[in-house]
Structure 1
Amino acid sequence: MSAELICVIVLGLMFVIGTWRDINMGLLGFIAAAGVGGLVLHQAPEEFFAGFPVDLFLTLVGLTYLFGFAQNNGVIEVIVNWCVKLVGGRIALMPWIFFGLTAVLIALGALFAVAIIAPLALSFARKHRINQFMVGLLVVHGALAGAFSPISVYGIFINDYLAKNGLTPTPVSLFLAPLVFNLIFALVVYLVLHRRPGLRAEADDRLSAESESSVPGSVDSPTSPTAPRSGLLTTKSPTRGVEGNRVVRSQVPTLVGLIAMALSVLIFGWDVGIVTITISVVLAFIDPTAGKAAMTKVSWSVVILITGVLTYIAVLQEAGTVEWVSAGISAIGIPLLAALLLFYMSGLVSALASSLAIIGVVIALAVPFLESGDVHVGGFVAALAIAATIVDISPFSTNGAMLLANVHSTIRDRYYKQMIGYAGLMCLVGPGLAWVVAAVPTVLTK
């Protein structure tokens, strides 16, 4: 049995065992990396663990630690209240505000825009009993909508890669196709889910009870004239020291830290993991008690889940499994059929690994028939961008991991299962719909 086939079988067993026995799949990933890497590929420990995503580990820990301060001292509520004020207190518009904020941030180069917006969006959804899964999906689709702008990391990578290989970049279609595609998906998600209560954490019920007992006219009170059914929001109810849009003295360092984090990542391009950990340590130095409390907000189970699976995926890639599957697909004599299979492969692999990495692999494999003119370059690249990223709600992708890390612990398991279900649906329909984007220009130019 070939090493490539063994890798695929082991990957399948990880999913079966993890789901069947409720074992953290990240732990299984570490074992699989050691087993396949050591016994099949004859690698040393430093080789089969070389794929451990240190940067993502630091990012997940740093971001959830930093936002732990903001969650505990009420800064998140202050920021959300500011956003609410911008839309005149209309709750129904807030999911789209979060969609737009995420899209703009990532379009400007903030690769981890989901990590910045997700804590704000999910906190707002929890507080006002909006479907948390729907809000999370809109945040991720917002990120994917703006991900391929000419000045984003994704856009720069793909356009430069095409230019270096003698192909003409198409930055406008690369940006607009994923934007329109994800906007449509977000609209469908909103229409289907926005009237459903969705997941609710135990903390939400406690928050609602406290709000109703202490503030008769609060948003959660069923007798309030400004209850959610009216589409308006009042911001008078105090929450953990927050009073309306006012910032108390104890919140100032955290607010300054969040602003510093956003500016350092957006303007200076500094590593988000190191930045957030540094800022968190400074905040812990200022208030050691708050630092200990914030550390409990770090989503260690999610960190283990993601890093373990990605460590094994690196071994899988080292074994040549991706290239093995791709080579078989590329050998097909019908270019559009080969493109369709490549899109499905990129979607499936991207759900478990780096979207940017699989895009690079697929473009490299597709260069021969892109050069032949059998497939429209602009359409193919735009469709590949969609197919490889539409599955990013998967908890094993960077965006999905950052979203799951900010979900309340009491609903995280159920949220995780819903993410898996939606990612599976996207794997089934996303690449096929994206293929139309590639096929139509090809047919029209014939």
Structure 2
Amino acid sequence: MSYELIALLMFSTMMLLLLTGKRVFGAIGFVGVLAALLLWGDGGSEMGFSAAMKLMKWYPLLTVPMFIYMGYILSESHVADDLYRMFHVWMGPLHGGLALGTIGLMVVISAMNGLSVAGLAIGATIALPELLRRGYDKIMVTGVIQAGSTLGILLPPSVVLVLYGMIARQPVGQLWLAGVFPGLLMAFLFLVYIAIRCRLQPNLGPPLSEEERRQITWQEKIRLLRAGLVPLFVFFAMSGLFLMGITSLVESSAVGAVAATLAAFVRGRLTRGVMEETLRKTLGITCMFMWIILAALCFGAVFDGLGAVRAIEGIFVEDMGLGPWQIIILMQLSFLVMGMFLDDTAMLVIVAPLYIPLVGALGFDLVWYGVLYTITCQMAYLTPPFGYNLFLMRAMAPPEVTLRDIYVSVIPFVLIMVLALALIMIFPQIALWLPQRYYGIG
């Protein structure tokens, strides 16, 4: 049996096991270890152990539990509530102002969290009821919250980019910086869309009434502004010190975790219940990431040993005659299709052994490609039938927001993401300028 056929058999077996609903790490790791054992005997069975040791020696892995903890403690202690109230008061007088403020809330939450789930939970529980109560169009605001929450996996400290960096062996610091301008670009495009649409259709996002605006004193506005600055302090403590070179990547994650804990304590919300729930969720998510990375390293080692990447490169370039850009576009389309059925972590683990070496062989920057992958994951979060954010929104939304409303609401935002993806593909420096400038590359 040829190595190409063995690689195809491994890939198809893994996909079949995933369709059974088994754990992602179990399906991938089982196929990797079994293939190594059958191909190379007892020596091959050590690949799983070798992958585990490689994982435990990876120092940047310590950032994962720190950032997950930071996001959950801010979420569970409701520190973000004050932030939304600040946006509500300061931007409410504008047409669509509360929707614009919700995007601002999501940007700040993303900069403190690194996950999509926590941002969506905060938006659905804090912003959505308030927006609906004030007469905002339910379809538009549902899309705003879902799209805004996806920024958490692109803006630093993105946990998805940490995972990509570990699997692709790329510096996490460069990946974070590469996600800054694309994330802000996408947020800006969301804001422009909301502002223009609410200007053309004022009934979609009515401003605060004159009477309500008069009831809000300047003292109240200033008080809320101070309260809303607490999350910004956490972000500066984490990212600012890192960018100034005072702390390393791992140290900045520890500083962020401590700052978030202090913020909850200062606000009087650091209770035993908050800590228990935060630690429980942090442990669960961290263990999931650890097992998945372990399985990916094992599976990837077998694939590399088979030379499957070189075979696939030959099929695309020599047999099919495709150019580098055509191959990149096909990769992104395949992510979109897989995103209808799999989450972002499973997608990366499944195709990382194939795509990442191939992208490097085609001459593309792997940091830049990490941003492309993450944006495609954002779109996958919003595409039916399996989009994670669609299901989470259905679980959290009030009864008057139907599943059809949720599906329709994301269409314009997915199109905006496609535009942002195209811009970054055409102009790679949108993603690469900041890390190259900061690290003195090129």
TM-score tier, shorter chain, comes to: 0.5 to 0.7
Find the counterpart in structure 2 of residue 400 from structure 1.
Answer: none
Question: Which of the numbers 340, 364, 372 marks the counterpart of 2:360?
Answer: 364
Find the counterpart in structure 1 of residue 329 from structure 2.
Answer: 343
Find the counterpart in structure 2 of residue 125 from structure 1.
Answer: 127
* Alpha-carbon distance in 1 for matches of 2:67, 2:25: 19
* Alpha-carbon distance in 2 for matches of 1:51, 1:332: 35
Alpha-carbon contact 2:87-2:105 (below 8 Å) kept: no
Residue 389, structure 1, aligned to residue 374, structure 2: yes
* TM-score, length of structure 1 as denominator length: 0.52
Unmatched 5+ residue regions in structure 1?
Answer: 19-24, 154-160, 162-170, 194-226, 238-242, 371-376, 398-402, 440-446
| Shift, 1:262, TM fit | 0.9
Find the counterpart in structure 2 of residue 38 from structure 1.
Answer: 33
Residue 312, structure 1, aligned to residue 320, structure 2: no
Find the counterpart in structure 2 of residue 140 from structure 1.
Answer: 150
Alpha-carbon contact 2:379-2:414 (below 8 Å) kept: no
1:190-269 equivalences in 2 (<5 Å):
230-232=206-208, 246=223, 256=230, 258-269=231-242
Find the counterpart in structure 1 of residue 254 from structure 2.
Answer: 274
User: Counterpart amino acid of 2:75?
Assistant: F
* Alpha-carbon distance in 1 for matches of 2:68, 2:12: 29
User: Counterpart amino acid of 2:309?
Assistant: E
1:139-160 Cα distance to aligned partner (Å, 9 max, x none): 435975x88xxxx99xxxxxxx
Alpha-carbon contact 1:330-1:366 (below 8 Å) kept: no
Alpha-carbon contact 2:150-2:378 (below 8 Å) kept: yes
1:260-280 Cα distance to aligned partner (Å, 9 max, x none): 421122211254643344346
Find the counterpart in structure 1 of residue 88 from structure 2.
Answer: 84
| Shift, 1:319, TM fit | 2.8
Unmatched 5+ residue regions in structure 2?
Answer: 37-44, 133-137, 163-169, 171-176, 243-248, 383-387, 428-442
User: Counterpart amino acid of 1:267?
Assistant: G
Partner-residue secondary structure (3-state), 1:127: helix
* Alpha-carbon distance in 1 for matches of 2:322, 2:191: 28
1:383-422 Cα distance to aligned partner (Å, 9 max, x none): x57742322227899xxxxx96xx689449x99xx89x98
1:270-327 Cα distance to aligned partner (Å, 9 max, x none): 5464334434665788879713234325646655655544443333333337835752
User: Counterpart amino acid of 1:293?
Assistant: V
Alpha-carbon contact 1:64-1:299 (below 8 Å) kept: yes
Partner-residue secondary structure (3-state), 2:376: coil
**Structure holding more helix per residue:** 2
* Alpha-carbon distance in 1 for matches of 2:74, 2:183: 31
1:78-97 Cα distance to aligned partner (Å, 9 max, x none): 21111122214447234444
Find the counterpart in structure 1 of residue 69 from structure 2.
Answer: 61
User: Counterpart amino acid of 1:40?
Assistant: A
| Shift, 1:136, TM fit | 2.6
User: Counterpart amino acid of 1:80?
Assistant: Y
| Shift, 1:34, TM fit | 4.0
* Alpha-carbon distance in 2 for matches of 1:119, 1:44: 39
Partner-residue secondary structure (3-state), 1:43: helix
Alpha-carbon contact 2:99-2:205 (below 8 Å) kept: no
Alpha-carbon contact 1:76-1:120 (below 8 Å) kept: yes
User: Counterpart amino acid of 1:232?
Assistant: L
Find the counterpart in structure 2 of residue 22 from structure 1.
Answer: none
Change (3 A) 1:279 1:101: closer
Length, aligned pairs only:
340
Find the counterpart in structure 1 of residue 42 from structure 2.
Answer: none
1:42-78 Cα distance to aligned partner (Å, 9 max, x none): 2355434455865334422332133211x2xxx3222
Change (3 A) 1:120 1:292: closer
* Alpha-carbon distance in 2 for matches of 1:390, 1:100: 19
| Shift, 1:348, TM fit | 4.4
Change (3 A) 1:358 1:426: farther
| Shift, 1:365, TM fit | 1.4
Alpha-carbon contact 2:28-2:295 (below 8 Å) kept: yes
* Alpha-carbon distance in 2 for matches of 1:76, 1:192: 27
Partner-residue secondary structure (3-state), 2:237: helix
Residue 332, structure 1, aligned to residue 315, structure 2: no
* Alpha-carbon distance in 1 for matches of 2:25, 2:265: 34
Partner-residue secondary structure (3-state), 1:391: helix
Partner-residue secondary structure (3-state), 1:232: coil
* Alpha-carbon distance in 2 for matches of 1:96, 1:32: 42
